[in-house]
Each structure stands twice: as C-alpha cells, then as structure tokens.
Structure 1
Amino acid sequence: MNITKWGYTRFRSIKAEFDLFPHSLVILRKIRSYYFVYNVRWSPLDPVVETHHLEEMERLVNREMDLEDQYLKRRSEY
C-alpha cells in the first residue's frame, strides 16, 4: 500500500488517500507525537478496510511525517 495524496486539515489532522482504497478518504489525528486513524470515509467501491490496513496506514503516514520512531515506541512507554 502507498500514499497517493495527503494534506493537512484543521484540528491537527491529516487527510490521506491510499492506492489500495482510491475512493476512500482517511482522516488521521495527532495524539501525543504521532498520528492515528481517526475516521475512514469508506466507499463501497473499495475493499473492506481491516485492522491490519489501518495499522499500515498509520505507519505510512508517520513515516512520511518523520514520526515513525515515536509511533513504533508508543507501546513500550505505557
């Protein structure tokens, strides 16, 4: 999966589109120092979004924003 398009929104959010889900819009919000999927505006034209897809989306966006280290370390701190 790859990011095809992304941009900033209000409220410290990012909207992104992915090649596996070209008709769906994914909203990610910043929590602490990394981004999590907040909402998926899913289109019936796309396959069903599963948990492993959401995790990959989060990883790709955090890598793009140079926050992948903080994202990967999030569970070890708590």
Structure 2
Amino acid sequence: MKLLHWEYTRKYQVKGIFDEFPETVFLFRRVKDYYFLFSMSGLDQHAIPSKKDYVRMEYILNKELYSLDAYRQRKVFQ
C-alpha cells in the first residue's frame, strides 16, 4: 500500500489518499504526537478496508510525517 497524496486540513487533521482505495478520502487526527484514522468519506462498497488496512494506513502516514516513534510507543504496544 502506498500513500498517493496527503495534506493538512484543519487544526490537528490530515487527509490522505491511498493507492488501494483511490476513491476514499481518509481523515486522520492527531493525538499527542502521532496520527490515527478518524473517519473516511467516499467509501466504495466493493472495496471496504479491514482493520489490518487501517493499521497499515496509520503506520504509513505516521512514517511520512516523522511521527512513527510516537506511534510505536502507544499504550497498545506496552
């Protein structure tokens, strides 16, 4: 999976488009020092992302925005 395009929207939010779901716009919100998937729009009924896809998207976006270390140090991983 590749991140095709991302941009800042409002305060503490980033929009992202991924190659496996090109019709869907994913909205990420910032929590502490990392971003997590908050919502999505334009979802195609034939290509619904799974939980594994959500985690991959969060990983890729945090890597792109240089917040991967904070993402890896969440409570989930401790």
Dislocated runs of 4+, deviation >6 Å? none
- Matched with 2:50 is 50
- Matched with 1:2 is 2
- Matched with 1:74 is 74
- Matched with 1:38 is 38
Q: Which moved more, 1:22-31 or 1:33-42?
A: 33-42
- Matched with 2:65 is 65
Separation of aligned partners in 1, 2:25 and 2:44: 12
Q: What percentage of aligned pairs have identical amino acids? A: 28
SS of the residue aligned with 1:22?
strand
Q: TM-score by structure 1 length?
A: 0.90
Gaps of 5+ in 2: none
Shift of 1:23: 0.2
SS of the residue aligned with 1:48?
coil
Query: How many residues are treated as equivalent by the alignment?
Result: 76
Work out whether residues 36 and 58 of structure 1, in 8 Å CA contact, stay in contact via their aligned partners in 2.
Answer: yes
- Matched with 1:18 is 18
Separation of aligned partners in 2, 1:20 and 1:40: 14
